[in-house]
Amino acid sequence: MAGRKLSELTQRKLRSAISNGSSVLADVDHRTAWMRRLKDLLGAHSADLGGEDILSEGQRALIRRASMLELQLEMLEGKFARNDGEASRADLDLYGRTAGNLRRIVESLGTHAGRRPRPLNMIDDPSLKLYSETLNAP
């Protein structure tokens, strides 16, 4: 077929926007305040585990859920604050159950024990690589 141009297929074009990292949620305006906060939480939880580039897909999935639960808890806290600190029984029950679920996810990720340092071999600083090699030399 003369005249038909072959498109350049790249891994980025073949994967969904969520898989390739250009979108956090499908069909959502990423400029909203809650979406920006969700992205901040995703980044913070990923950093706690050493960075996005060393996470397993399972860890990424748990981080997404933990971040969304944390965001929802913050929204409930805002609702309580706007109501002079008062909450209905249903809201308190929801808050408690959500906090418990968040705790279980955080414990399964291991981030409740503190940040994990990045391995020195993952850092692109040549002086740190040299330092790491001298530490591990026989």
Chain mean pLDDT for the chain: 83
Q: CA distances (Å), 117 to each of 8, 97, 121, 122, in order? A: 39, 31, 11, 10
Nearest alpha-carbon partner for 42 in 69, 16, 19: 69
pLDDT in tens, 61-112: 999 999 999 999 999 999 999 999 999 999 999 999 999 999 999 999 988 7
pLDDT in tens, 118-134: 665 555 666 666 666 76
> Which band of pLDDT confidence, cut at 50, 70 and 90, is reported for residue 114?
confident
